[in-house]
Structures are given as C-alpha cells and as structure tokens.
Amino acid sequence: MATGAKLRQNVSVKNKLSTTLRGWLPILQSNVLEMEETINEYAKENPYISLKSSIVQDFSSKLKQPYPNTPLKNSISDKIESMSIQEKSLYEILDEQILPPLFPTEISVSIARNIIDNINEEGYFDGDELEESKLIGVSVEQYEKVRQRFAYLDPKGVGSKNVMESFLFQLEDVQDIPDEIYSLCACIIKDLGNHKNYASNSGYTLAMKTIRTFKNPPALAFVQKEAFIIPDILVLDNDGEIQVQLNDDFYPSVVIEPIKVKSAEGENYLKNKLKEARDLIDALDMRKQTIRKIGLMIVEYQYDFFMGGEMKPMRLKDIADEFGHSPSTISRAISNKYLECSRGILPIKSFFTTAIDGDTSNASIKDFIADLIKNENHKKPLSDLKILQTIEEKFQLKMVRRTITKYRKQLNIGSSSERKRLYEMSV
C-alpha cells in the first residue's frame, strides 16, 4: 500500500507555479474537453504550432474500455457526436456576459468572475461571501452588490443562493404582467410555503401560473444536457494499492513545424513565435505535473475515502500552500475538473471540506443531509430539528440547529414547510 510520502517521492514537481505556467493559465484552467479549443486559439496566431487532435483519434478506442466501475450510458456514436457539436458550458456563457454596463470596472469584473467560480452545476452560488470577499480584497457589501447583478444574466436565476432568491431573480425577467401581479408574485415567493394564504387574492391564479414557469434549479437546461465527462485524474485501486494516473490520453498533441526564414524582419518575428510555441509545450507539461500533483495530494489527504471511508477535512489553502500560490488561482485550476475512482466520477472541488469535529467533515454531514432529504416522506418532510437529532445519533457529535439550517441552505434545499409546498406544486 502506497503512503502519501511514498506517492510524493514518485513525482518530481516544482512547489511553485512557474512563470511559464502563470503566463498560460488558460491552459491550466481548461478541462480536457476545453483544452483543445483553448490551444487552437494560440495555434491560429502562431505558424510554428501544429495541433493534432487526440479526442477524435482516441475517443472511440478509449470508450471500448470504460474507466473502472463506470458503465457506458450512451452509445459511442452519441458521445462522439456530443464532442463534435458540444455547446458552450454554463461557465463560458456566464463569462461572456461579464461586460459593461453591468460590470463596468476592473474590480466588478474580478468579483463577478470569482462569483462564477463559486456557482455550482445547478446554477446556485454556494460560496462563502465573507471568505471570498476577503480573498479578493473587497468588502462583503461590495461583493454582494455585484452578485445581485446576476439577476440580469442568462440563464435567469443563476448566481442566486436558494430557490426563493432564484425565483425572485427570474421574476425580474418576466414581461407583460401588471404591476399588482408582479408584487403578488414577489410576496408569494417570499412566503412560498404558505402560498395558499394568498388564494383569496383575485390575481392568485395568474401569479401561481407565472411562478410555475420558473426553472428550478436555474441551470436546469445545462443539467439536463450535461456533456460527457472526461476526468482529468484517475485514482485506481490495484490490488489494494492506490495509484494516481493522469488521464492525458485525450490531450492534444502540439508539434513545432520547421519554417524557412525569408528576411531579417521575419527572423525576429519568427523567433518570438518559436519561443511562444516552446512555452506552450512547457505549459502543457506543467499542466500535467500540476494536475498530477493535485491528484497525489488529494489521495494523501483523503486516503480513507478512496478505501471506502468518509471524506476528511481538507482546505483549498492546503493545496495552495504547497504550490506557493493563492487559493483563488488553485480554485480556478481545479474548477470544472473531475476525478474518477471506484466510487464514481467526482468534481475535484468536492474534496475540499472543512472540519466539524475531529475527522468528520462538513462534506460528510452535507452528503448525509442531502441523502436524508432525498429519501424523505414528501407528505411529512424532515424538520431541521429532526435532521439534527439523526445526525447527532449517526456521527456521535454535538451540533446546533442553526448549523443544520446553514448547511441545508448551502445545498439549496428549502425548509420542511417550503419543501412540502414544492412537492405539492411539483415545482
């Protein structure tokens, strides 16, 4: 069985991101599917760079041998087609909208992009505003002010914290309804669990009809059309020994083509382009080393999880300190990237948790809460107090109800009364 120390000895990686890598951060930030498109943008401007796709070349053969414990859900042809006509991701669409007049200053753009980094796949903001605002050096009020502007972005409701706020964001986009219906919708959304209390209002039927058109979650269309995921990191169990493997078979191949120099002026131009081409290859190599080292560190910190146990506390800062870089840079580096192991395909970000008590992490508690609510009786949803009692019995630790409420909200799950109404409404 390989220990964390032994794993680290198997790879020689610089502790700090190199100057080369900092200059080519888009390469690091792109996932496997996006990387080819990212590199292609550089290739268009550089006559030395010849790009050879590995997606088309290797896709069919790799899919014949699925990754460990991963069933093939669709036909190979469907997946190849999805690669060929892949639509823009939620994060690409959001990033394209970070423009004036909504985001007119450099700091507002910086805040907006940090917010995007903390939006989950369902479209909800699940970051800690206090922590994130400190990270980028702005006030919580300034951070929140920029987040509220996401009400005007597509998809509607994105960037909200929960169902109620998502519906209020989406209400902002509703056209051609009388002001009194708009106001009634806002009142009902803020008291959705008791919406029948407004039934005597003459506009109730129209208001509820409007609310039922809202998407929950806000990025529902992207969840439904989720692209085939190619993980960056493979964690394999080889006869009880955990091995970390970089999934680089789908990396595009960059070749430097020879070019004849025709003039002194052209020589200087080509010399710069040649350096850029070599830097690009260095950046790709550094990306591999960086992602691999992240995988090794995750295995070291979360070894018990890969052996079937619970996920332990691990901070993003732990990784950032190893690289000598800021947590925000590492956050962007692992955003929208996945790790595959015997327990499934998981977002790399999901491994970074906070300690609650000893070796119990908030991720374990949140997973338990989500599972409880997923299987609850729709006619008698669990109260926060009942969830608290179940958790204290299961994990043998003391917590307070407001912590359960906080975690439930971070999971974008409504209160028991709100869930009961949502079940009834089938929203």
Does 73 score more than 50 pLDDT?
A: no
Task: Tell me the three state secondary structure of residue 354.
Answer: coil
pLDDT 10s digits, 271-297 = 888 888 888 888 888 888 888 888 998
Rounded Cα–Cα distance for residues 283 and 60 (Å)? 27
User: Higher confidence at residue 317 or residue 146?
Assistant: 146
- Locate CATH 1.10.10 in the chain: 355-425
How far apart are the C-alpha atoms of 386 and 404, rounded to whole Å?
Answer: 10
Q: What is the pLDDT of residue 344?
A: 80
Whether the model clears a pTM of 0.75, i.e. scores above it, the answer is no
Lowest mean pLDDT of 152-156, 195-199, 213-217, 321-325, name the range. 321-325
Which of residues 259 and 191 earns the better pLDDT score?
191
Rounded to the nearest integer, the mean pLDDT of the chain is 78
Residue 225 vs residues 87, 94, 159, 379: alpha-carbon distances, Å: 9, 17, 19, 31
Q: Produce one character per residue of 179-209: b if its CB has 16 or more CB atoms within 10 Å, e if not.
A: eebbebbeebbeebbebeebeeeebbebbbe
Token look-up 């920029």 returns: 146
How confident is the model over 110-130, as pLDDT tens digits?
999 999 988 987 899 988 899
Residue 379 clears pLDDT 90, i.e. is over it: no
The answer to whether 93 touches 123, Cβ cutoff 8 Å, is no
Mean pLDDT of 411-426: 79
Q: What is the CATH number of domain 355-425?
A: 1.10.10
3-class secondary-structure state, position 239? coil
- When pLDDT is averaged across residues 242-264 and rounded to a whole number, the result is 78
